[in-house]
Structure 1
Amino acid sequence: MEKPMRSLTILFPALLALSVVGRGTPAPAQEYKGVNLAGAAYSSNKIPGRYGYDYLFPKSGEVTYFHDKGMNIFRLSVLWERLQPTPGAALDADHMKRILAFADQVRAVGGTVILDVHDYGRYRGNLIGSDTVSADDFRDLWTRLGAALHDRHEIWFGLMNEPQQRSARQWRDITQEAISGIRSAGADNPILVSGIGWDSAHGFATQNGPEMAALRDPVHALIFEVHEYFDTDSSGRSAECVPADQAIGRLTSFTTWLHQTGNVGFLGEFGVGRNAACLDVLDRVAAYLAANRSVWRGWTYWAAGPLWGEYMYTLEPTRDGQDRPQMQVLGRHLGHHEG
């Protein structure tokens, strides 16, 4: 089911524990708990758009607020078209400066950034793998990013948000090209791999699992990212939620797949409304992920940022500085870092 339009680390001493494709299940590792900070991918219909008007990057206060709540990872959504105005050509210098400035803010508090290319498997509306945009173009983007960011180990590489390619095999082959490009550039940063079918946790094992399990990474630093919403149709368009047991059930097949394949996962997007039933779901989901941290590396809630207004899922505090109900629930599962 189509979702609403939302286009709007630290050096790992134990990098090998992040992903061990084809090896045994890794031991429990550091948990990463945080939030999507939207803004830089806004106005995807306005390319390049006007910075500060059509789109903006998070301000320093965003990182400070969520870090002080105990969060340690921030998913930054960007658009490929703004990052690389022409496929195969140089990255935009100003856009890279903004990305690095945000990463500097996060690194200053000891946190981690997920650089999320939020284009649904497309460039200017054309699918990767079409006559217009090739897998080589996508590899070129990530090769350049790998070369530019190889020494920024606080940045994880989120290859593509919710790709819309026709088959998991096609997307696997495109993904493998990007992985190979990154590693050829000398970057050993962790790579987050997504799947087709809106990258849903509940469908990943059957729709993507058989193909994506064949991916290979010479430094064994792949993390399989999934998304899950807990309204009736999993679309993220309703403030209502299914019962908590059903919500947890949407995560279990992916958990099983991670155990069976020896991989690790990450819940890159999830969100709930403010009513009591949804807040119970949120509490149960956070507890479930913590209980299964041997294979779930962590999560980033959808979403925050100053442009959301009264969006039903927002974690952005109210205008008078009050925490949202969802933040109060997530706070039970965070280590606080006040001051």
Structure 2
Amino acid sequence: MLGVGIIGLALLASKAAAKILYAGVAESGGEFGTWSPTSDPTTGIPGTFGKEYAFISKPGVDVYVDENKINLFRVAFLLERMCPPSTGLGATFDETYFGHFADAVNYITVTKGAYCLLDPHNYMRYNNPSQQPYSGSVIGNTSDPTAATTAQFGAFWGQLAARFKNNKKVIFGIMNEPHTMSTNLIFENNQAAIDSIRKTGAKQLILAPGNAWSGARHWTEDWEGNSPSSSSVMHKLKDPLNNTAIDVHQYFEEGGSNICTISAPVVYAPLTAWLKQHGLKAMVTEWGAANGTQCAQYVTDMLGYVANNSEYIGWAAWAAGPLWGSYSPCCSNGQSWGSLEPGSKAADGGPSLYDTVWLGVIQPLLPKKLQRTGISSVKGVAS
């Protein structure tokens, strides 16, 4: 199992000292351009690079690596663009879309020497991204004849992993924010992905999500649409290389507001206890805060919490990206404060989230020592 006995025992020796290995930012844009008020599944598919979608701004990546000294980028992409619905989810890729994605990944990992977390931004759904995060058929849902199968999901991951298996600085994120589905099905899809990735010979770090948007605060909870709890099953995942960690997200505000109320030390405690119980590690790959001083302490508390608890190996803040403009990716209550993209501005020309949240709060708390070399690993650089 993924807990003590298969993965857990291999991790116990590394639990003595807390250490953040990976820290950085999410790059959102590869999933853009598909929204349709009429739920038209063809909207923005395949899309035009640089217009409907784009993965990164290379100058922005330069700033984050050269000036801010981060070592992690989480790069979002869309399954319906990578695997066109005309051929279905699986091993057949749209080579134009993949080529642009690979260019972004290689710029981050080869040119800049940072790590890149591959992020299929699909909420464990496929075939209609027009009203994400709710549209599309749940992957593996055998009662839906239009749904992609768990086997197809595994085939997709086998193909993607095969293409990046020799890039030591890639991290495989199985899926962004599964929600409102059977947690057992998420487990099955996760296991299929792990199996397919390892069959290619890829040895890099894998991140496995849970239910309820993979939320830290809901990890141990059980309710309709989030049943059974993620904590009751995810420790049973099997990875022959013991190099899988848990992928969690957590914001500080409720319902898209700009008021922070959710304290990391409080809501992370049950998850941390579960990780400790099973000898597991986790990465917080999506979190964010509003533009203003009210949320600053919440950010400080969260980054301090994960830095001081050895169960956590990394984090990525939401979000930068070349297409946000003055729009804010989170926590704005409809206000346009810009994004975490360097050089972005609020709609009124004022400072953006990059200026106020990243430079003002996050940057001073960035760990001074991050993993800079070697294969992505739950334990850090292999000896």
Q: TM-score range by the shorter chain?
A: 0.7 to 0.9
CA distance in 2, matches of 1:95, 1:153: 22
Q: 1:98 aligns with which of 97, 100, 104?
A: 100
What amino acid maps onto 2:208 in structure 1?
V
Deviations 1:97-123 (A, max 9, x none): 222211222122221000000001111
Could you tell me which residue of structure 1 aligns to residue 124 of structure 2? 121
CA distance in 2, matches of 1:225, 1:55: 25
Q: Secondary structure at the match of 1:289?
A: helix
Query: Where does structure 1 lack aligned partners over 5 or more consecutive residues?
Result: 1-18
State whether residues 21 and 213 of structure 1, in contact with CA within 8 Å, keep that contact through their aligned partners in structure 2: no
CA distance in 2, matches of 1:52, 1:148: 23
State whether residues 128 and 165 of structure 1, in contact with CA within 8 Å, keep that contact through their aligned partners in structure 2: no
CA distance in 1, matches of 2:104, 2:114: 11
State whether residues 183 and 211 of structure 2, in contact with CA within 8 Å, keep that contact through their aligned partners in structure 1: yes
Matched, 1:324 2:350: no
CA distance in 2, matches of 1:336, 1:318: 25
Matched, 1:298 2:314: yes
CA distance in 1, matches of 2:230, 2:181: 11
* 1:243-258 alignment runs, 5 A limit: 246-258=263-275
Q: 1:161 aligns with which of 172, 176, 182?
A: 176
Q: CA deviation at 1:83?
A: 1.0
Could you tell me which residue of structure 1 aligns to residue 250 of structure 2? 228
Tell me whether 159-168 or 278-287 shows the greater mean CA deviation: 159-168
Could you tell me which residue of structure 2 aligns to residue 240 of structure 1? 259
CA distance in 1, matches of 2:368, 2:275: 29
What amino acid maps onto 2:70 in structure 1?
M
Taking structure 1 as reference, are residues 335 and 172 closer, same or farther at Cα in structure 2, changes over 3 Å only?
Answer: closer
Matched, 1:213 2:232: no
* 1:126-165 alignment runs, 5 A limit: 126-130=137-141, 131-132=145-146, 133-164=148-179
Q: CA deviation at 1:22?
A: 5.1
Taking structure 1 as reference, are residues 76 and 249 closer, same or farther at Cα in structure 2, changes over 3 Å only?
Answer: same
Taking structure 1 as reference, are residues 24 and 39 closer, same or farther at Cα in structure 2, changes over 3 Å only?
Answer: closer
Q: 2:306 aligns with which of 289, 293, 302?
A: 289
State whether residues 162 and 196 of structure 1, in contact with CA within 8 Å, keep that contact through their aligned partners in structure 2: yes
Aligned residues: 313
CA distance in 2, matches of 1:303, 1:128: 26
What amino acid maps onto 1:123 in structure 2?
Y
Matched, 1:50 2:48: yes
What's the % identity of the aligned pairs? 30
Could you tell me which residue of structure 2 aligns to residue 12 of structure 1? none
Deviations 1:283-304 (A, max 9, x none): 1111111111x21011000111
Taking structure 1 as reference, are residues 21 and 81 closer, same or farther at Cα in structure 2, changes over 3 Å only?
Answer: farther
What amino acid maps onto 2:29 in structure 1?
G
How does the TM-score come out when normalised to structure 1? 0.86
What amino acid maps onto 2:183 in structure 1?
A
Q: 1:197 aligns with which of 209, 212, 228?
A: 212
Q: Secondary structure at the match of 1:198?
A: helix
Could you tell me which residue of structure 2 aligns to residue 40 of structure 1? 30
Could you tell me which residue of structure 1 aligns to residue 3 of structure 2? none
What amino acid maps onto 1:258 in structure 2?
L
Q: 2:340 aligns with which of 312, 315, 318?
A: 315
Q: CA deviation at 1:321?
A: 10
Q: CA deviation at 1:336?
A: 7.2
Deviations 1:114-165 (A, max 9, x none): 0000001111111101232100110010011121111011110111111135
CA distance in 1, matches of 2:50, 2:24: 24
Q: Secondary structure at the match of 2:270?
A: helix
State whether residues 180 and 217 of structure 1, in contact with CA within 8 Å, keep that contact through their aligned partners in structure 2: yes
Q: CA deviation at 1:318?
A: 3.5
State whether residues 55 and 322 of structure 2, in contact with CA within 8 Å, keep that contact through their aligned partners in structure 1: no
Could you tell me which residue of structure 1 aligns to residue 7 of structure 2? 20
Matched, 1:73 2:72: yes
Taking structure 1 as reference, are residues 32 and 60 closer, same or farther at Cα in structure 2, changes over 3 Å only?
Answer: same
Q: 1:265 aligns with which of 282, 286, 306?
A: 282
